[in-house]
Structure 1
């Protein structure tokens, strides 16, 4: 099996080399060394689309298939729409558009799937080419395909459809896609264009004279307000660069010569062509969240009549520039593939939401179009996941972009009345727990990132922290869940079941995460001179102590009268813990590690508890609450155990190939963890701007920051087996602790890790 896997990996690599060699020719002679210098060639878009093959995935509780739910997304970083081959029908929750092991091909989808999530796609549409007889039911026109001849890069996708004798290729810009269909024999060819509504909604219209198709797929909310209209649609405008001889619309297998159709089950449009072998159809598609006219404008401004090859080259170059901020010098080709794939996955979301003219749908479903005066507007913040590492990674690499993210969150709060907890589908959701828009805004502000109204941000953050919305507002997903109980008791007691939330109960986890958010807000209050708020919030930042039972040495559910929930099971999934166990969540006190250590009984006790967690195989890297845990040995006398555990996780939890991720990537958080850990530092407490250090994976790497400065990271080993840090110097001066600050990093220079046995 290993030999077979290696063969397929080698074959894929050879295909990639050939593709990039051809791409260098397409770009032109000025880029003749493109193939040799390319970083995009290391990116594996299929990673996470198949059952996990990592060692760690064999040890998780669930024995079912482990899927990371990523897609082979074709688009520039942080784009409005990703273009993906579609092997899975519907926009239903937890069904990604593409799975590597599925055998049926349904077309190229213009997708708004949140990468690596268990949510749902929205506002999408699919373009499917077929030949021979017209078929309009998906189960009839789906075609078997293999990965033979398939190529996927961040800028280009190609698949051969043998049953139809058609070659399908796709590329994309920020808001638009370009698909090319090539006939491999003379035949009748049809294009099927389908809005992917699971609610028998949507609209599509054909203008045969102009060769244009337009339509929309209405978006509906998820979690709070589930199923309600979100106040916008996924709009599309398509221009076909080839005359079609016939056209019409359909609903399931019912075909009509009409040129438009609306609100019917599995509706779509078909276009018919007579094609000779070697002829092509070019499909130019613009997308928007505000209108068909805006989708058309986006297409005209971003692509217009640009050739397919030029779009591939430009989008490839965009990725080269982005990936090229981090350069790796290491003989391990496999690790380079994993690293640059992780960097690719970490740059999918948040999603660009505004048109080229600045227009975007107002937040929270009020059906109006707003216009950005400067910057861009973003959505799909999987906030419970990405505040930990993915957003902090962008704070390092692209602070200007982060300023736009922060501005978008403030705009949402102004338009909806409350700062959102987990804004996706451009709506309130109340998904997951915590109030981590606050943590992110504080993190960005404390690192000197501006571009947003900090006073408005503070007002909105403070409202979440101190006020309970009225009942109707609360039902819409606004405000912190169970905030009244939290303010009254200093923790959320077991009697409060936290109704009207996607996750009910989970009182202890909520208490811990609110305490962190209170600390985050306190740091901003201090900088803004709001002394009373600062003092109150810093006191609340210690609320984690109220759910720590010293009798068992861990966090535990607690009742209003102060008694503890029984029985206590340290390593079981308990109703008061989110997606984990009491043992795992006990280590979530990033704002006050000295205080947690004291509660535990000292640094040696913390070390022993960490040892126990790893010995029992209770560390679960496939989910976010424990991502900081391996770095906590830095707060003990044994920081080399951080280096040992992080190195093991890098080796066991990540691999290359389609099964290379061991759990949901969650909008890039799992991947961002890899990027940080491989470089040698991680933001245990992103609000503080301090990173905990570990041994780098690579012998040498460099980071080029937007301020023009470069940080060179090197390891110097005393012997071949020297794997542990003996000392660290930054610009020749030895670091006194196993940590480094944000400012030290972005000031650039030389960071050298001296390694011994």
Structure 2
């Protein structure tokens, strides 16, 4: 189904979309200065929608790992709903709504797919235009899909369907979409609107006199509580600015003149029109997670009767402002495209969940709540992935939004009784390991982002760290998996198989990540004067030592009696490691590198072990647990090796075009990694508020912070090949450290790196 994306077609796609985007901005915005300064033109929404073509991906044996599973989302940053061309039916797990090389087009989907994930869409619906005779079965109405004349930006999408002689365009606001269908010849035209339920559920109704269609697609949980109702639906309200001559409903190929249908397989509604050549239909669609009435209010508030061009221009400006917080200057246009595409991907999630009037579905419940503050309520936190870099990037650039995220998480804990581990579908999931909502809240707090109820946050974080839920709550996904074993032994022994989780076993990885979360909570406890908690949590932060076997020099499975699991294979996938090997996970001690170095026998041994990992090609960038590894050379006498390895990763793991990502983007984490590295620093330990330095990618980077300060990062290179830092000047003074603090960065100024071709070794 998905064919390789060739270099020739890749280059052609880049040229095509590059020039059409520029023309589009001139046409819709009409402001020459704005167009000249535009950075939105660099974004490639198709990146990650094809099998990877990066250099690194050529060595991946598991071909499923070569799919990044992003979508060409049209919507402002962090929207409720993303609008995407649909080339893949269903809401099945690990199937994105769109793949670049699929050959059939099924419409424009109002999607809640978590970008770059292996989860599933939910509460979605699709609008498909066809011409000629009415067809209602997907196998009949699907049309051949080509990229000829196609345009995609974060604010606008256009495609031409030659089989139907129809031009389809889409744009969006935070909660609403606007689709424009233009006839390229006179013909009968039908709109098919389908709630995308895989369970034969849902509802749709037509009000022919008003030209309105409304309905919903019920949401169901996955992971813990798999298949159970999630307590809410994806609701929609559609208004069509043109009277239709015919309408009805269908279930598959069975068509009826009725004006509503409910809970049938492949259900949908159709509207018929007579269009002359050049005539258009405008489809105004509001979405909500609370009700059809709320979807209507969202539409009337955000778009109302605004023209298509007005919405495109407004959403383009929103993206321009958001992307423009980081301006890069460099002759390498390809790297700019990769960078701004990464910044676009890093601003898809978490997802806005409340309506314009503040209404949102209660977390893990069925009641409608109203936000009590000026901020918004968010969900779809792919927390195991994004606490590492994607959320820290938001903390750096958008602290006000970070407060909304933190408030949302505390609300979830209050409404559901326990702080969630991996809150998606507005429910508990226990999908991954760790307790990294705690790490995120501590990270924000330690950076001075404190516009949330810190005392209540601490209560909830502490409950997760010290208590075991009752059996019913635990089975529902609440609390840390394996917490009793962890508290009893100081690690999770091999005997505890963690049966009540999607990821079972993985005992060593859980131990390592809980130790980090304990450290994170300890930092807050100390600041709040919780001395006893602080001391106990800091002791537990050393629990990583309990699964470190000094005889083999790595993390290793351990039984309750203290003996080690045999045999030991350092470079094989093991059941006690999450998505990796013992060698890879051994380096996950971001909070206590001095302690890990001591266990390893000194910094030189750490350097040797890192060398071995990279020499063996055991570094796996396509998954998150090792994202900090290249920066660990900064803790040795060879920080230049960080600069070397990072430059290799930037060049080999990211590329231009639809195949530009090496693996799942995981809600923007892979992309946020690129953004940080290109700027020249990375949060190995986000909770600490420190960033490890490396060489910046661009000649100049200007970061605009929301406090009004600007930081200019300059790379002065001896040649194009210069990647090694020989000297750093920060605000006019020599800077000799390998790390820099969050507070130093947001005060702005000038950070200058002098780079050379060879490392400055002792």
TM class by shorter chain equals over 0.9
2:681 aligned with 1:670, yes or no? no
Measure the CA separation in 1 of the matches of 2:237 and 2:192.
14
TM (normalized to structure 2)? 0.98
Structure 2 counterparts to residues 267-666 of structure 1, below 5 A: 267-666=267-666
Q: Which moved more, 1:194-203 or 1:360-369?
A: 360-369
Please state if 1:134 is matched with 2:137.
Answer: no
SS of aligned partner of 1:170:
strand
Q: Which residue of 2 aligns with 1:157?
A: 157
In the TM superposition, residue 32 of structure 1 has moved relative to its aligned partner by: 1.9
Q: 2:26 aligns with which of 20, 24, 27?
A: 24
Cα pair 2:67 2:662 within 8 Å, conserved: yes
**Aligned mates of 2:636, 2:61 — CA distance in 1:** 29
Question: Contact conserved, 1:16 with 1:151, CA < 8 A, in 2?
Answer: no
Deviation of 1:718 (Å): 3.8
Q: Is the 8 A contact 1:588 1:626 kept in 2?
A: yes
SS of equivalent to 2:130:
strand
SS at match of 1:703: strand
Report the Cα distance in structure 1 between the residues aligned to 2:661 and 2:638, rounded to whole angstroms. 29
SS in 1 for 2:684: strand
Partners of 2:645 and 2:209 in 1: how far apart? 64
Matches within 5 A, 1:735-746: 735-746=735-746
The residue aligned with 1:13 is 15
Supply the distance in 1 between the matched residues of 2:663 and 2:406 (Cα, whole angstroms).
28
**Match of 1:169, SS?**
strand
Q: 2:327, 2:38 → 1: CA distance? A: 11
Shift of residue 554 of structure 1?
0.1
Aligned residues: 755
Distance (Å, rounded) in 1 between the aligned partners of 2:16 and 2:142: 29
8 Å CA contact retained: 1:171, 1:308: yes
Deviates more, 1:11-20 or 1:292-301: 11-20
Cα offset, 1:8, TM superposition:
5.0
The residue number in structure 1 matching 2:684 is 684
Note closer, same or farther for the CA distance 1:316–1:204 as it changes in structure 2 (3 Å cut): same
Distance 1:719 1:46, change over 3 A: closer
With structure 1 as the length reference, what TM-score do the two structures score? 0.98
Structural mapping, 1:183-194, within 5 Å: 183-194=183-194
Q: Which runs of 5+ in 1 are unaligned?
A: none
1:417-441 Cα offsets, whole Å, 9 max, x none, are 0000000000000011000000000
Q: Counterpart of 2:212?
A: 212
Which runs of no fewer than 5 residues in structure 2 stay unpaired? none
CA distance in 2, matches of 1:523, 1:637: 28
For each residue in 1:640-661, what CA deviation from the matched residue of structure 2 results, as whole angstroms up to 9, or x when unmatched? 0000000000000000100000
Retained in 1: the 8 A contact 2:607–2:636? yes
SS at match of 2:119: coil
CA contact (8 A) 2:10 2:657 kept: no
Q: Which stretch of the first structure deviates more once superposed, 735-744 or 529-538?
A: 735-744
Indicate the residue corresponding to 1:247 in structure 2: 247
Partner SS state of residue 492, structure 1 = coil
- Offset of 1:81 from its aligned partner? 0.1
The aligned counterpart of 1:40 is 40
Deviations 1:8-34 (A, max 9, x none): 524543444244324323323xx1233
CA distance in 1 between counterparts of 2:720 and 2:227 reads 59
SS for the counterpart of 1:684 is coil
Classify 1:8/1:619 alpha carbon distance in 2 versus 1 (closer, same or farther; 3 Å).
closer
Residue matched to 2:717: 717
Q: Distance in 2 between matches of 1:544 and 1:240?
A: 59
Preserved CA contact (<8 Å) 2:131 2:187: yes
**Residues 530-572 of structure 1: CA distance to partner in whole angstroms, max 9, x if unpaired?**
0000000000000000000000000000000000000000000
| Deviation of the 1:38 alpha carbon | 1.1
- Equivalent position of 2:728 in the other structure: 728
TM-fit CA distance, 1:264: 0.4
C-alpha contact (below 8 Å) 2:14/2:657 kept by paired residues: no
Partners of 1:542 and 1:40 lie apart in 2 by 45
> Is contact 2:13–2:657 with CA below 8 Å preserved after alignment?
no
